[in-house]
Structure 1
Amino acid sequence: MQTTFDFLKKLSQNNNREWFQANKSSYQASHEEMISFADQLLKEMNKHDVIETPTGKKSLNRIYRDVRFKKDKTPYKNHWGGGLYRSGAERRGSYYYHIGIAGSFVMGGFFGPNSQDLLHIRNQIAQYADPLREVVTSKAFKRSFGELLGSQLKTSPRGFEKDHPDIDLLRYRQFMIRKDFTNEQVNDKNFAKIMSETFKEMRPFLDSMTEMLTTDLNGIPLI
């Protein structure tokens, strides 16, 4: 990833259209390197999951920023990011990767569940939170991801008691997990495999959430 790191470092110091146009070849070299990496990652991911994202290139987000409603008008991102989406209603959750000089990481989970899904998750947690809690408190989870992340309500959600024993989980509006990598790790020739294995380690969490989303409160499948 050294080509990409070199490009992103220079871009962060010269985040303007004039420099970008004059150094378009550096951008293209970085873009090709990221496409190659994403293709390798997709190949590794499909060995243990079913991903509907068709190509590595399709997984990559554009480097151009949408500045229409932002005070920061710098036109380009100082990182590359991309998403991989699981195929089928029985495979919930998604994967995100982020490569940047200021830090590289992966995230997985449920970034913006709609109101119907969020209520269903909360009803499941309120009834029986043990499967999810066992995952997020396990030694393997803590070793790889630390803790459950995501925006939370400051108070109890509507319809749920503030003294519910699982109120800490009920407050979540997003359910995400993250692992960071050093630049040295990112530059490892086997980094696509390393990242894929990290995504695989997310599966107990994704499976627990999927179980809640695809069954009713009696455990009967909804799909």
Structure 2
Amino acid sequence: MIEAKTLDFLKELVDNNNREWFQANKGRYDKARENMVEFAASVIEKLHKIDPTVSADLDPKKCVMRIYRDIRFSKNKTPYKNNFGISLPTLGSKLGGVEYYLQIQPGKSFIAGGYWMPEAAHLKAIRQEIDYNAADLKKIIDNKKFVKLFGDFRKQDQLKTTPKGYDADNENIDLLKLKSFIVAHQLKDKEVMAASAAQDIVDICSKLYPLNVFLKNAIA
């Protein structure tokens, strides 16, 4: 489970996002990160049983993302993220490919999955898979339990124009115009701090697993 001290550290970081405060509280950060690594290890162990493409050998230390922000090209010059992210890639995927992603942030935690902003070749392959096998995707995303957990899959970033190679009157144009193929479920603080948190999150992942399978098959 995520410890209350981890959330407390993140809450205080929001109001003290500077190097001086961070260095003075480095010990708290180290303990918070250790908590995240232990939690990631628990999630990986359980998730592998549901989705074998999430390797049981994933290094949880590498799955917990850096808290340091890259501010070189950002107007926001605060040096630290106000959350911890855990990226759980599927076999053959780089970070940011077809994956599960857990974000821990006070009041804004969530578990997500799918493929965010695919590279050009993968985007083309996914659209082709949708064009050929839209019924398979719609069976997943229009399932009532899926919609209740993750909302309307179609309501995410879309092209304003019709993608090259497809007609505007294509019956699945709303899916073909998508630029990302992700879903997310919000988590309350009490949920991530529960003793059953790792298993509860994996249970949610099991509901989005078919989406990841569809996407993996498309780019295989």
For residues 35-54 of structure 1, the C-alpha deviation after alignment (integer angstroms, 9 at most, x for no partner) is: 11111111111222232362
Q: Could you say which structure has the greater relative contact order, defined with CA pairs below 8 angstroms and 6 or more residues apart?
A: 2
Q: Does the 8 A contact of 2:126 with 2:218 survive in 1? A: yes
RMSD between aligned residues: 1.7
Q: Is 2:116 the counterpart of 1:114?
A: no
Match for 1:12: what amino acid? V
Match of 2:72 among 68, 71, 74: 68
Query: Within 5 A, what are the aligned runs for 1:55-204?
Result: 55-88=59-92, 93-148=98-153, 150-204=156-210
Q: Which has the larger radius of gyration?
A: 1
How far off its partner does 1:161 sit?
A: 0.8
CA distance change for structure 1 residues 116 and 102 in 2, over 3 Å: closer, same or farther?
Answer: same
Match for 1:119: what amino acid? K
SS in 2 for 1:46: helix
Q: Which residue of 1 aligns with 2:29?
A: 27
Question: Using the alignment, how far apart are the partners of 1:59 and 1:173 within structure 2?
Answer: 25
For residues 80-125 of structure 1, the C-alpha deviation after alignment (integer angstroms, 9 at most, x for no partner) is: 0010111258xx8211000001410011001132212211222232
How far off its partner does 1:162 sit?
A: 1.0
Q: Which residue of 1 aligns with 2:10?
A: 8
For residues 191-215 of structure 1, the C-alpha deviation after alignment (integer angstroms, 9 at most, x for no partner) is: 011111111111121222333334x
Match for 1:166: what amino acid? N
Q: Does the 8 A contact of 2:51 with 2:209 survive in 1? A: no
Q: TM-score, normalised by structure 2?
A: 0.90
Q: Is 2:218 the counterpart of 1:212?
A: yes
SS in 2 for 1:38: helix
Q: Which runs of 5+ in 2 are unaligned?
A: none
SS in 1 for 2:71: coil
Q: Does the 8 A contact of 2:107 with 2:189 survive in 1? A: no
Report sequence identity in percent: 36
